Amino acid sequence: MKLFMLVGCRKVGKDTSAIILCSKLDCNSYAIADPIKDGVCEMLKVNRKWVEENKDEIIKLPNGFEVTVRSLLIGYGKMIKGFYGLDCFLDKLKEKIVGDPNKFTVISDGRLLREPEYFRNHFDCVVIKVLRDVDKTEDSNDLTEVEPMMIKADYEVDNNGTLEELHDQLEYILSKEIE
């Protein structure tokens, strides 16, 4: 099993890169944050599409607090890790990947320093950092926005150009990593 892990800050093109890689490799893509998003969806009584499309929207919670959906996702993830340990989401994802019959797998949402190291310890893992100029938000100082820039990647792709240029960069990486 060869694992391609995409890392980077928010809105840099990790999901787009995952779609490209999966179409080339005919494999599945997984996200570390899926259980977090599922929990927030259940809490808010909304579907995943709504959460994905409204991450920067401000919502009013039952206690009167107003937060962005993104802040709620970050807080929920931290709370669950506080109860179950820092690797709880990584352990769950590892189980899914081990059960995946494909030769290749893509993780689309690496954000924290410990995540690539965890998967490198368990799989033949290639880390690809996706870079793009994005605007800062209120969440820009959260670890999920600071740590991606400190992750040591095997490759970096610049997603400030065209979609075709992103395709070309990812194809180059595959040509080096797939025998």
Please report, for the chain, the start and end positions of each structural domain, with discontinuous segments joined by +. Answer: 2-32+86-177, 38-84
Residue 163, amino acid: L
Contact present, 50 and 90 (Cβ < 8 Å): no
Model pLDDT for residues 1-41, shown as the tens digit of each residue: 999 999 998 889 999 999 999 999 999 999 999 999 999 99
Residue with tokens 């179950």: 84
Whole-structure pTM value:
0.87
Evaluate the CA torsion angle 83, 89, 95, 98 in order and state its sign.
negative
For the chain, helix (H) and strand (E) counts, in that order, are: 8, 7
CATH 3.40.50.300 for domain 2-32+86-177, yes or no, is yes
Interatomic CA distance for residues 27 and 40, integer angstroms: 27
